[in-house]
């Protein structure tokens, strides 16, 4: 269970804007995060991952406190072991598809399964600049899954995929999440994208 109760002053173009979120995410569930552009969706995910610090409040994962402003406690991102799919993918330009996954895990069977689910088997030796936008996006998702994260944060993860690819991938992800016991928070602008998939919704802004 992830329990978040935080405040953060966002530096918006028209001054400061207070982002305040109090929410508990149940284990194994998929939550869709919606809200207008600039509302703070990406910043919210970054605060959970430990990449941005809230001004006030707490973030707790089961019995572990990840962040507590009053105790000045802030667990480092690598100790939170959260999977993150950034909007810009954040791939490594000098690594091949396979090396991206090997960087995260040494389990060869798991790597092969992720390559298959991502439709990337034939591109295993390609570097990101020789991949299409959709392939890059799928690689970013598979890399995030490689560590078998209990919590997966995804920021518009399907934006570069066609409808057919997207629905096949979402089906496979649901199976994987169940298997791994992964809780997923997914920012999505597309109202239909996660219909029937997410059990929960968080609207920001």
Ligand X SMILES: Nc1ncnc2c1ncn2[C@@H]1O[C@H](COP(=O)(O)OP(=O)(O)OP(=O)(O)O)[C@@H](O)[C@H]1O
Residues that bind ligand X (CB under 6 A): 10-12, 35, 37-43, 52
Q: How far is the CB of 42 from ligand X (least distance, A)?
A: 3
DSSP symbols for 118-147: TT-GGGTT--GGGS-HHHHHHHHHHHHHHT
Helix and strand numbers, DSSP H then E, in the chain: 6, 10
Q: How far is the CB of 36 from ligand X (least distance, A)?
A: 7
Kindly tell me which of 51 and 95 has the beta carbon lying closer to ligand X.
51
Spell out where 35-112 has E strands.
56-61, 64-68, 73-74, 82-85
**How is residue 143 written in tokens?**
């890399």
Kindly tell me which of 39 and 101 has the beta carbon lying closer to ligand X.
39
**How is residue 184 written in tokens?**
């997923």
Kindly tell me which of 12 and 79 has the beta carbon lying closer to ligand X.
12
Kindly tell me which of 27 and 205 has the beta carbon lying closer to ligand X.
205
Kindly tell me which of 122 and 192 has the beta carbon lying closer to ligand X.
192
* Total number of residues shown for the chain: 205
User: What strands lie across the sheet with 151-155, from one edge to the other?
Assistant: 82-85, 151-155, 183-187, 30-34, 200-203
Q: Which helix (H) or strand (E) holds 76?
A: none
Q: How far is the CB of 56 from ligand X (least distance, A)?
A: 13
**How is residue 145 written in tokens?**
């899954």
Q: How far is the CB of 74 from ligand X (least distance, A)?
A: 14
Q: How far is the CB of 117 from ligand X (least distance, A)?
A: 26
């Amino acid at each position: 269970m992830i329990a978040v109760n935080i405040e953060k002053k966002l530096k918006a173009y028209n001054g400061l804007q207070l982002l305040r979120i109090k929410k508990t995410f149940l284990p194994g569930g998929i939550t869709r995060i919606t809200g207008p552009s600039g509302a703070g969706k990406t910043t919210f995910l970054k605060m959970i991952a430990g990449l941005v610090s809230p001004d006030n409040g707490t973030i707790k994962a089961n019995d572990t406190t990840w962040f507590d402003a009053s105790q000045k406690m802030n667990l480092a991102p690598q100790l939170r072991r959260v999977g993150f799919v950034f909007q810009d993918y954040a791939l490594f330009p000098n690594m091949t598809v396979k090396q991206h996954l090997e960087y995260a895990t040494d389990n060869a069977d798991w790597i092969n399964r992720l390559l298959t689910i991502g439709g990337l088997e034939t591109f295993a030796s390609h570097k990101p600049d020789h991949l299409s936008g959709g392939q890059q996006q799928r690689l970013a998702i598979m890399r995030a899954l490689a560590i078998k994260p209990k919590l997966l944060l995804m920021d518009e993860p399907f934006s570069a995929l066609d409808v057919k690819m997207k629905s096949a991938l979402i089906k496979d992800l649901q199976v994987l999440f169940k298997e791994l016991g992964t809780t997923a928070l997914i920012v999505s602008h597309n109202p239909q994208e996660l219909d029937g998939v997410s059990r929960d919704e968080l609207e920001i802004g």
